[in-house]
Amino acid sequence: MAFGTCSVSEVAFTFEVDIMAEAGENFAAFNSRALVEMVGGVTDEALKATRIKKFLSVLAGRYFNWAGRKSLFTLHLGIKCCAIEMAAAATPRFDGDRFGVLFRSSPRQSDVLLINGPITKKFADKVVRLWEQMPEPKYCIAMGECAISGGPYFQSYNILEGVDTVIPVDVYIPGCPPRPEALIDGFGLLREKIIRIGAAPSAQRASEKPVIVGED
């Protein structure tokens, strides 16, 4: 089978992307260079000459989209009261693990930055540093009024009016504090968002509207 002539490949790879992808799903996970590195030994020209390039892109994108949203490794940045509810979500009563919510202690192992509590101007640099150490694609959840708007410290001289003033936020969970069920619901909405946007890097999601738990 010669890839350059497309003799057999046109028959073997007649799968259309529209057939594999469900409505509203985005599986654009890899660029051309990543595909070449993944298959190894196959030139970019050979991939372009057949439909295998498009096929592998959708197949790999579909797999990583599924794996990413089913196991959300979360860096828990609990600063104040909401941290108690966040910890409760991981206990056997609520069992966040059954939804793929796995708490980690290292930003380099995490997909989601979960922030709660007021962010002081002095601490803002540390939040940005943690965010920058996380690999793409990465997501942020702001839990509680303090992380969303500053809470009772709104317009204070040393408190940020929401963590979204320094890093992008994908999901807001209102409440003071929100219940563990609301946090689990927030992760469910984040999974739905990942299905919709695919593995787009955070810098390319500026036009995406954040999701608010409890909003109709």
Arch. (CATH architecture) of 73-212? 3-Layer(aba) Sandwich (3.40)
Which is more confidently placed, 179 or 32? Answer: 179
Residue 214 CA to residue 216 CA, distance in Å, equals 6
ω into residue 118 within 30 of 0, thus cis? no
Question: Could you tell me where the beta strands, DSSP code E, fall in 79-173?
Answer: 101-104, 112-116, 139-143, 171-173
The beta-carbon contacts of 31-35 under 8 Å, at least 24 apart in sequence, are: 35/60
Q: What does DSSP assign to residue 40?
A: -
pTM, rounded to two decimals: 0.69
Average pLDDT on 153-170 reads 88
Query: Which of 27-31, 104-108, 177-181 has the least mean pLDDT?
Result: 27-31
**Buried b / exposed e across 63-98, counting CB within 10 Å, b at 16+?**
ebbeebbeebbbbbbbbeebbebbebbbeeebebee
CB atoms within 10 A of CB 45: 9
Residue intervals in the chain for CATH 3.40.50.12280: 73-212
pLDDT in tens, 65-77: 777 777 788 888 8
Residue 184 CA to residue 163 CA, distance in Å, equals 20
